[in-house]
Amino acid sequence: MDLLDLIDLTQSVVDGVLFGATYALIGIGFTLIFGVMHKINLSYAAASIGATYLSLIVVTAVPTPLVYAFAALMGGVLGWLVYLICFRFVPLNNPLATLMSTVGMLLAIEELISHLTYGMPQNYPALFGNTNFEIGPFFLRGDLIFVFALGCVAMIGLTVLLKRTRLGLATRAVAQQPVAAQLCGMSVNTTNASTFVIAGLLGGTAGAMAGAAIGVLSPLMTLPLTVKGLVVTVIGGLGSIPGAIIAGLVVGGAENLFQFLRGVSERDIYVMLLLFAFLVFRPGGLFAAPGGRD
Amino acid sequence: MDFYLGLAQVIGIHTLLGLSAWCVLHTGQVSIAQGAFFAIGAYTAGMLTSMWAMPLAVALAFGAVMAGLVAVAMGFPALRVKGLMLVVATTAFAEIVRLFFFNLKWRVQTPTGEVGPDGSLGFGGIRHFPANGWSTLDVNLLIWALVAAVMALLWWLDRSRVGTLWRAVGEDELAAQSAGINLTATKVSAFGIGGCIAGLAGGLFAHYATHIEHHNFTILLATFAIAYPILGGLASLAGTLLAVIFIQGFLLEGLRFIGEWRSLLFGVLIVVVMLVRPNGFLSRALFRSRHA
């Protein structure tokens, strides 16, 4: 491999890591909900893409940054609706029940999107699409940098929310010990619902980021994003937010690395094998949450 | 009439698929890999009859055994994790298998031309049924005879020691382990038998469809597979059959008049059943008072 190949390789890995911020946000959403409820919300990525689609309603009326904000807002609303429909009134002691109800929601959202848009991909606005930075032999796309920065802002915002506010305190308390939290006067249902709203805000942002980086929205994005989000959650360790961030960037980079080495049709095989290796050799993930969880 | 015979074939194949998921669900595990075992059976059986002109019975049996072996091989590492992690692990496995067949290219010359899996173009020309003069009714009889055989086998297994072990592990792993049950052996046996049944269903599907491609074996198929027994209720085999007839016969075909919107109903149906009868439609509580 000569120098030119090496530059191309580094370039595609860097692009992948920048786009990996999207996976990190989706992974955080899965992990947050797992943290408080010990349940996986499989409809999460679909709801996030759904929120991004909803933000297309205002795309002609307001400037692009507000479109992204609207996507995040819709993500919060959808998160609350998903909680209400798939979790609130379903018996939580039956592990199959919420799994199936969220799968049903995932399929319903995907179908709804394809029907309402007649299966046509929709254009999504990008910021700094024409700005590029050249650093030595490398070439950084402005829109990817923006997506990465937006992801970082969302992650910092989440950390502040969890560590500095009363709502964050309640979320962490319920995650640690729901019964004790309830005895201290916190409403578990309200906290669960607000966690879904927070995760939804992140999901809407992630959907907008994916849309901005790819340039189009399509219902075909929901399943890959769900699978990648789950991969990130497991590699990072269920319930661990720093784990999800690092795993998201790693998966983004690895994806482009394998794409460079083996071509686009084979790349996901290797990403899945990476996950399998983690499951066999380190089932707790990079940062396993303390306490024996499954 | 042909339409109903065709529908009966689909229902039979999907019943086998649902029964394969029923085995695994009985041990309390959720596997998204049933679609992958289905794909392995479909490609193996299809390749044997079309590329090397093997008899159908050999091809179907080989496809089922192949899928069962892969299930056992995959079961050992995957069953180190359980619950939600197994869902993710089997999802990843299903994607690996689908992408493997997406990339698989293996063409051979036969007297009727070149056949074999052709990468993303799919695998066409599995023409064993038309080439040997099978009518739709014959195919139906074969499929439903196999469904009956598998159901009888599972009914017997459920009442034998194996079924007791499966249910004990499904109810409470810790208690089962304390009682001296080998968890790994129990789970892997359920995985293997489930894999065999899915492989058999896949072999039948390949010959029914004559053309298969990676799109047939997505996670959506695996979702259908686990949805049948869960919606029907794990307490009985009839629940799975009922759920397949309801979803394939009524929801997807019977409601054709409402147009494309009916595919939306599958997702909504799952959500509604989980809200109203979280243990499945034919769960035991149907005949008892809720507060008993």
B235 lies in some domain: no
Which residues touch B135 (CB under 8 Å, ≥6 apart)?
none
Smallest CA–CA distance from A232 into chain B, residue: B88
Find out whether A88 and B204 touch, Cβ atoms under 8 Å: no
B223 lies in some domain: no
- The reply to whether A184 touches chain B by the CB within 8 Å rule is no
Give the distance from residue A129's alpha carbon to the nearest chain B alpha carbon, in angstroms.
32
Walk along chain A (294 residues) and give the pLDDT tens digit of each residue: 677 788 888 888 888 898 899 999 999 999 889 888 888 899 999 999 999 999 998 888 888 889 999 999 999 999 999 999 988 888 887 778 888 889 889 989 988 998 888 878 888 888 776 777 777 777 788 788 888 888 888 888 888 888 899 988 888 888 888 889 889 988 888 999 999 999 999 999 999 988 888 888 888 888 889 989 999 998 988 888 888 999 999 999 999 999 988 888 888 888 888 888 888 788 778 876 554 443
Find out whether B199 and B40 touch, Cβ atoms under 8 Å: yes
DSSP string, B253-282: IITGGGGGGHHHHHHHHHHHHHHH-TT-TT
Check which CATH number belongs to the domain holding A242 and give it.
1.10.3470
Residue B274: what pLDDT?
Answer: 84
Smallest CA–CA distance from A118 into chain B, residue: B260
Are A103 and B270 in contact (CB < 8 Å)? yes
Are B230 and A100 in contact (CB < 8 Å)? yes
B283 lies in some domain: no
Which of B25, B89, B99 is facing A268, going by the closest CB pair?
Answer: B99
Residues 106 to 125 of B: which have CB under 8 A from any A CB? Answer: 120
B271 lies in some domain: no
Smallest CA–CA distance from B221 into chain A, residue: A107
Are B96 and A273 in contact (CB < 8 Å)? yes
- Residue B268: its chain A contacts at CB < 8 A? 104, 108
How many structural domains comprise chain A? 1
CA dist list (Å): B2 to B9, B140, B188: 11, 11, 40
Give the residue numbers spanning the domain of A211: 3-281
Which of B89, B100, B226 is facing A279, going by the closest CB pair?
Answer: B89
B268 lies in some domain: no
- Residue B275: its chain A contacts at CB < 8 A? 85, 89-90, 101
Are B271 and A85 in contact (CB < 8 Å)? yes
Backbone angles phi, psi at B152, to 5 degrees: -65, -40
Backbone angles phi, psi at A135, to 5 degrees: -120, 105
- The reply to whether A81 touches chain B by the CB within 8 Å rule is no
- The reply to whether B95 touches chain A by the CB within 8 Å rule is yes
Residues of chain B with pLDDT under 50: 285-292
Give the distance from residue A130's alpha carbon to the nearest chain B alpha carbon, in angstroms.
34
CA angle, A214 then A70 then A142, to 5°: 35
Smallest CA–CA distance from A38 into chain B, residue: B84
- The reply to whether B259 touches chain A by the CB within 8 Å rule is no
- Residue B82: its chain A contacts at CB < 8 A? 294
Residue recorded with tokens 């669960």: A192
- Residue B218: its chain A contacts at CB < 8 A? 223
Give the residue numbers spanning the domain of B7: 2-217
Exposure on the CB side of residue B35, measured as CA atoms within 13 A: 27
B185 lies in some domain: yes
Smallest CA–CA distance from B222 into chain A, residue: A103
Residue type, A77: V
How many structural domains comprise chain B? 1
Give the distance from residue A83's alpha carbon to the nearest chain B alpha carbon, in angstroms.
12
B267 lies in some domain: no
A32 lies in some domain: yes
- Residue B258: its chain A contacts at CB < 8 A? none
Residue B16: name the closest of B207, B191, B244 by CA: B244
Smallest CA–CA distance from B80 into chain A, residue: A280
For the stretch B106-116, what's the b/e string if a residue is b when 16 or more beta carbons lie within 10 angstroms of its beta carbon?
A: eeeeeeeeebb
Are B88 and A109 in contact (CB < 8 Å)? no
Q: Global pTM?
A: 0.88
Are B278 and A108 in contact (CB < 8 Å)? no
- Here the tokens at position B176 are 């089962």
Query: What ipTM was predicted for this assembly?
Result: 0.83
- The reply to whether A268 touches chain B by the CB within 8 Å rule is yes
Smallest CA–CA distance from A274 into chain B, residue: B92
Residue A200: what pLDDT?
Answer: 94
Q: Give me the count of residues in chain B.
A: 292
Alpha helix stretches (DSSP H) within chain A:
3-37, 44-55, 64-82, 95-116, 142-164, 166-176, 178-183, 188-214, 222-236, 241-262, 267-281
Residue B197: name the closest of B5, B22, B6 by CA: B22
Which of A81, A107, A118, A275 is the best residue to mutate to test the B interface, defined by the most B CB atoms within 10 Å of its own CB? A107
A293 lies in some domain: no
